Every structure is written in C-alpha cells, then in structure tokens.
Structure 1
Amino acid sequence: MNILILNWRDIHNPLAGGAEIATHEHAKGWISAGHHIVQLSSQFPGGKNSETIDGVKIRRMGNHYSFHIRAIITYLQNYTSAFDLIIDEFHFLPYFTPLYAKTKILGYIHEVAKELWFSNLFFPANRIGYLLEPHIIRLYKHIPFMVVSKSTKDDLINIGIPQKHIHIIPNGVSIVSSQKEKRSIPHFLFLGRLAPDKGIEDAIYVYALIQKEFPDSKLNIAGSAENTEYSDYLHSLVSRLQLSSSVLFHGEVTEQKKFDLLRESWVLIHPSIREGWGLTAIEAASQGTPTVGYDISGLRDSVRHNKTGILVPDRNPEHLAQATIDLILDTKRYSQMEKRACIWSKEFSWKKSVAQSLHLIEQL
C-alpha cells in the first residue's frame, strides 16, 4: 500500500517525543513489509524541506501553528488519489480527514488532550479547544482507531467512539545496554520534554522535599525546553530553592546517555499531567528503576502500582515526595520492585507492536 502519515512532528524534530518514536517505529516496520510511506510534518529550524529517514519519505511545511492547514491544503492539491491509507494522528487537533478524504483512514491517538489544553494554550484558545475536542473526535465515529492504552480507549468510548472501532496496540521499547550500576547515594531522574504538562516544576518541588531527607542525593533532569524563557525559569526555580549544587540539567541526551542515567537512578520521578502511555516508565523498568508518579491516564497502564512503581492518587508534590522517600527507606520493598520492573519491561517490544499494527492496517 501507499500510506500517508499526517503528524505534526517527525522523528528528527527537536521536540519529538514518545509519540513520534512510536510513529516512526511502526512506519519502519510497515516499510519492511513492502509498504510505501510519505509523512507530512511541520518544519523546524535547520530541518530540510524533504528527506528520507529509514525509508520514510518526509515532507516538512509550515510551523507548529500553521502545519495542520498546510497539510490539508497539500493533500487536496497533490495527493487526493495518491494513497491507499491515511494515518491521521491526533495531537490536540487531528486533520479532519473524514470531511474530505475518499480513501481509507486510521485515526492514531496517544491521549485525549482534555486538561492538557490548559497547560499548553492561553485563554480563550484553551477553553475553546477543551470544549470542542469531544465534538471533533466524534467526526471520526465511523473511523477505526489505533490507541496505545486502555486509558485512551476508555476516553474515546466515553466520547462516543464505538468500542469495536478501537484497537489497543501498546508501544514497544528499544533498550540500549548500559554498563552502569545504581549510584551509592540516591540519584533521581526526570526524563522528558521540559514543559508544564510534563510536570517538570512539580519534579523540582518534589526533589526539594526529598533532598531534606537525603541531603547528599542528586536530581538529574534530561530533556530540552520548548523555549529559552522556560528553561531560564526552571534554572531560576532551582536556584531559588537552593538546589543548584544538587540538580543537574543535561539537556537533550543520546540514547546511550539516557539509559545510563536510567540505570544509575534509584527512582524515575514522573509527575506528568496526562500521558497516552508513559514510554519512559517502561524504559526505566528495563533498567530496574521504579517509577513514582501521579495516578493519571496512560501512566496507570505502563506502571503496575505497588509492583513496578507507585502511583499517587492526587496531584500533590508533597505526597509524591513522601511516597518516594518511603520507597527508598523500605529496602526490601524497593528490591522487589526493581526485579518486578525488569520482568514487566520484557512484555513490550517494537517487534510485537509492529506485528500488531501491520496486521491492523492490512485488514482495514
């Protein structure tokens, strides 16, 4: 088949996250099975207008705000009869393909945005987006969906998407071998995009409380901010809390460095507002590192509460900090959680996930 992927970011975008990794892994697998793929994504500083990555032909246009309309116009002008299947990927907004595309469509969604509208946009756009989102999703009532978790499936069902149209295919995980060992003193890790919806500010406040119990401990922060203003704010927050000697900002890290940090860390602190899946929790589990986070959609799918990590029922940094402290002090419980986390991570592989998605698209 000739397949068109519509996704706001591609794998080389500096702001690419777990959703972009998943999209690219599935695309690579489909290409290996003989399918042909073109992906339309937004442009970014230094990005080429077009390039081929692992066989995926990527065309970039527009920016973060204009890409959706540019992609729709490009499709209508050039591609109306060129593809057998469109992957319409949801990130806040989809591409409204049921309104104009005459070919097969697969909706691909990691999470329903819900409260994420309020952490990513200002009033009144956030309120409008929040109110319109269910109505927009219902435009896809007769379209099949690929989702990454039961949490997302439940959200879609509550909005009105028939259960029979929703297919859960969890993300896989690509593990890089690390020769590191757990640090002799507690090391904690925040891993992900430095943005309000990922809970980075809560992570810093949580660590400030943990540090009172473990004054020699360290917090590593791996990930990049969307702009220098927010990065500067986070550094000033660390300074204001008198944590500068204990907190290290690594910025964007290589895969090897990421897994070294995961291996060395005692706990992954994961105070995100909402996730579709929580890929970093599985990556942490593969290194015997429990995750402590809020009990949110997505994370409750990738973390087995009290087995591979701890999920705190309310979004309270004090409670998250105390749960982390209690886990570290209970050495027997921590050791059991390390082992269970490693076992749990082995349930997930891209080979398994791609086989499932390949079967899905070929049956549409």
Structure 2
Amino acid sequence: MNILILSWRGPGHPNAGGAEQVTLEHAKGWVKAGHEVTLFTSNYVGAKSEETDGGVKIKRSGDQFFGVKLRAALWYLVGKHPKFDLIVDEFHGIPFFTPLYTRARKLALIHEVAGEVWKYNPWPKPFNLIPAFSGTFFEHWIFRIFYRKIPFMTVSNSTRNDLVGWGVKKENITVIQNGIKLFLPKKLPPKESKSTAMYLGAISLDKGTFDAVRAFGEIERKDDTWQYWLVGFGTKEHVDKLKKLSTDLGISEKVKFWGYVTDRKKFELLALAHILINPSVHEGWSLVNIEANSVGTPVIGYNVHGLRDSVKPEKTGILVQKGNFHAIAEESLKLMREKERYERLQNNAKKWSKKFTWEKARRESLELIESL
C-alpha cells in the first residue's frame, strides 16, 4: 500500500515534539511491514526539501501553519507523485481538509482536540483574540462537516471522548496508546543530592510554564533546599518572561534553563530529578509522563485531558486541580517528606511505563490501516 501522511511538523523541526515523534514511529513500522510511506510536512531553516528517515520519504514545503496545508493540496492536485492508496490527515488544531480535494481512503490522526488551547496562542495582544475566538468556534464545525464519517486514530480515551462530543461516531475512533523510545544507561544513577523538581516539554504558554515557575517559587518559600530545572525549547521572548518571573520570585539562582537537549541527556536529567512537574492545560496523552516514569520519577500535574490518561493518581504520580500551582508545590513538598510513599510511586511508575512499547503501538496501527 502507498501511504501519504500530511503533518504540520516533521522530524528535525525545531518545534517538533511528542506528536511528531509518534507519527514517525508509526510510519517506520508501516514501512517495515512492506508499505511505502511519504510524509509531506513543513519546511524550516536549514532543512532538506527531501530526505529519507527509516525508510519514510520526507517532503518539506511551506511554513508550519497555513503554508504547508496549501502546498500539500497543490502538490497533491497538480504535482508529480505516485497514486496513494491511503491518506493520513493529521490534525493539530487545523487539519489538511483532504475531503475537499481527494476521494482516496483517509485516516484522521489526532492527538488532542485543541479546544481551550486556542486561547493560549502566542500571537501578540490584541491579535491573539483572533485565533482564540475563531479557532474555538470553527473547530467543532470542521469535525461535524468534513470529518464526521472519516475513521480516526487517536492516543487516549480523553481525546476519543472529545471527538464523540463533537459528532464523530465512537465506532469510527481507534485508540492506540503511544510507546516510548528509551535512552537509558545500563544502571540508573542515584537521584540528585538536592530535591529536584523538573519541567520537561515545549517552553510555551499552553504547557503551563508560568505555573511551573510559580510552583517552584512556592516550594522555595517553604523549603529553600530545592533546585529547579526547565528543559525544552522555547522562543527567546517566552524564556525571557520566565526568567523575569523567576527573578521576581527570588529564585533565579535556583532555576536552571537547559534549553533543548538530546534524547540521551533528557533521560539522564529525568533519572536525576525527583519529581516531574507537568502543569499543561490540555494534552492528548503527554509522552513525557511515561518517559519520566520509566526512570522512576513520579509526575505531579494538573487533572486535565491527557494527563489523567497517562498518570495514575497515587500510583505513578499525583494530579491536582487545574490552575492550582500552590497544590503542585504542596504535593511536591509532601511527597519528598514521605519516603515510603515516594518509593511506592517510583516502583509503580517503572512498572506502568513498561506497558507502552512501540512494537505494540505499531502492530495496532498496522492492523488499523490494513483494515480500512
């Protein structure tokens, strides 16, 4: 089968995250099973317009927001390419609207229904109100009008429930939980000598990074023996705002901004940290939670979509009310005081993480695409 995947970001993109990793892992599995896969995605500075990764043919054109969608449609309609048997139309707020220009078999791939995430867009005020209102208003109509009868593949029960709420039939939705790609040393290192709270992910507004720093400040106010890490890529403007906040809270000397790190370094830091703080406002699954669990690091985060799927309260971590960074701080302090409870969560977290492998996820997605 010849498969075309349309995604706003691809391998190597500076803003690529867990969703892009998931797409590539499934694509590689399909290639290994004998299918041909082309990934059409956005371009970025320094990128090759065409290359191959794990047998997946990658074609880049257009910017990540609207340009890639227009270029994909034009390339499909008038460009030179083989006939595709299946088109995977990947959602990230806005899909590729493939029902408008092709009758080929389709699979909609979605990690999360954006919903309120539209309100956390990075546009400057007051222009940020444009996507905040238009995205929130039009998103559910896109599902109902264009994708109601198209099969969906998603990563969590939370996203499935959102899709059902917006008119997609439950029987048209297949949930395939993500695997994890491990970069572990033969023997895990001991935790840091100082209690260490870590944030890992995109340094952006919707990921709750301001609440992460505020939680660090609350911890420091009650116990000044901790240290704090923020790991991930973000714009200079957003990082500077977080640094200013840490200065205002009097914790700038305790907060280390690691920026982007390699996968190997990421797992090293996760293994050294005591707690992963995840104050994201909305997720599809949140792969970082399982990655943290794999090295025995419990997660403390908000009780929101995605996190309530990947975190098992009082087993692999702790969930608190959304927006309550005070509770994140309090639970972090409490957990570090209760050694027996902490070790129980560590052991459960390691066991939980072993349930998620790419071999299993690829096998399930392969069965899905071959059944369409």
TM range, smaller chain:
over 0.9
Tell whether the 8 Å contact from 1:7 to 1:90 is kept in structure 2 after alignment.
yes
Distance 2:63 2:244 in 1: 29
Query: Structure 1 residue 322: deviation in Å?
Result: 1.1
AA aligned to 2:211 is D
Give 1:306 deviation, angstroms.
1.2
Q: Which contiguous aligned blocks of 4+ residues in structure 1 show a shift greater than 6 angstroms?
A: none
Task: Tell me if 1:157 matches 2:158.
Answer: no
The secondary structure found in structure 2 opposite 1:141 is coil
Residue 364 of structure 2 corresponds to 356
- The aligned counterpart of 2:9 is 9
**75-84 or 284-293: bigger deviation:** 75-84
SS state at 1:124 partner: helix
Tell me, what secondary structure is at the counterpart of 2:326? helix
2:280 corresponds to 1:272: yes
Counterparts of 1:102 and 1:78 in 2: how far apart (Å)? 17
Q: Any idea what the Cα deviations from partners look like across 1:38-94, whole Å, max 9, x if unmatched? A: 111111111111111111111111112322122122211126871000010000000
- Which ranges of structure 2 fall in alignment gaps of 5 or more residues? none
Q: Deviations over 1:250-289 (max 9, x none)?
A: 1111111111111111100000010000100000000110
Question: Which residue of structure 2 aligns with residue 245 of structure 1?
Answer: 253
**In structure 2, what residue type is equivalent to 1:18?**
G
Q: Which residue of 1 aligns with 2:326?
A: 318
Q: Normalising by structure 1, what TM-score?
A: 0.97
Counterpart in the other structure of 1:57: 57
Letter in 2 for 1:301: D
Describe how 1:212-291 pairs up with structure 2 within 5 A.
212-225=221-234, 227-291=235-299
Q: Which residue does 2:71 correspond to in 1?
A: 70
- Written as runs of structure 1 = structure 2, the 5 A alignment for 1:109-120 is 109-120=110-121
Q: Which range moves more in the overlay, 37-46 or 229-238?
A: 229-238
Q: Deviations over 1:165-212 (max 9, x none)?
A: 000000000111134211122011100010000111110000111122
Contact 2:281–2:322 at 8 Å: present in 1 too?
no
The residue number in structure 2 matching 1:196 is 205
Q: Secondary structure at the match of 2:106?
A: strand
Whole-angstrom distance in 2 between the partners of 1:201 and 1:343 = 31
Unaligned runs of 5+ in 1: none
Q: Percent identity of the aligned residues? A: 43
Q: Which residue number in structure 2 is paired with residue 332 of structure 1?
A: 340
Match of 2:129 among 106, 123, 134: 123
Paired position in structure 1 for 2:351: 343
* Contact 1:186/1:214, CA 8 A, preserved across alignment: no
- Separation in structure 1 between the aligned mates of residue 341 and residue 253 of structure 2, nearest angstrom: 30
2:182 and 2:25 mapped to 1: Cα distance? 13
Alignment root-mean-square deviation, CA: 1.2
Paired letter, 1:234: L
Which residue identity does 1:105 align to in structure 2? K
Aligned pair 1:137/2:143, yes or no? yes
The answer to whether the 8 Å contact 2:304/2:322 transfers is: no
Q: Is 338-347 or 79-88 further displaced after alignment?
A: 79-88
Which letter maps to 1:168? Answer: V
- For 1:149 and 1:46, locate their aligned partners in 2 and report how far apart those are by CA, in whole Å: 34
Q: CA deviation at 1:146?
A: 0.4
- Identify which range, 177-186 or 284-293, moves more after superposition: 177-186
Q: Deviations over 1:330-349 (max 9, x none)?
A: 22211111111011001100
Deviation of 1:7 after TM superposition, in Å, equals: 0.2
The reply to whether residue 168 of structure 1 matches residue 175 of structure 2 is yes
> What are the within-5 Å matches in structure 2 for residues 93-112 of structure 1?
93-112=94-113
Measure, in 2, the Cα distance between the counterparts of 1:54 and 1:239: 44
Greater alpha carbon shift after TM alignment, 100-109 vs 212-221: 212-221
Q: TM-score if structure 2 supplies the norm length? A: 0.95
CA–CA separation in structure 2 for the residues paired with 1:187 and 1:320:
14
The secondary structure found in structure 2 opposite 1:102 is coil
Aligned partners of 1:161 and 1:335: how far apart in 2?
42
Q: How far apart, in 2, do the equivalents of 1:67 and 1:207 lie?
A: 38
For the 8 Å contact 2:6–2:41, the answer to whether it is kept is yes
Q: Deviations over 1:319-361 (max 9, x none)?
A: 2211221211122211111111011001100000000000100
- Please tell me whether the aligned partners of residues 211 and 323 of structure 2 are also in contact (alpha carbons under 8 angstroms): no
- The alignment of Structure 1 onto Structure 2 pairs a total of residues equal to 363
Give the structure 2 partner of residue 90 of structure 1: 91
Task: Name the CA distance, whole Å, in 2 between partners of 1:72 and 1:326.
Answer: 53
Match of 2:60, SS state, is strand
Partner SS, residue 57 of structure 2: strand
The separation in 2 between residues aligned to 1:36 and 1:211, in whole angstroms, is 53
Q: Which residue of 1 aligns with 2:21?
A: 21
Q: Does 1:209 align with 2:207?
A: no
* Per-residue deviation, 1:29: 0.5
Q: Is the 8 A contact 2:289 2:311 kept in 1?
A: yes
Between the aligned partners of 1:104 and 1:28, the Cα distance in structure 2 is 20
- Alignment partners' CA distance in 2, 1:260 and 1:270: 18
Q: What amino acid maps onto 2:258 in structure 1?
A: H
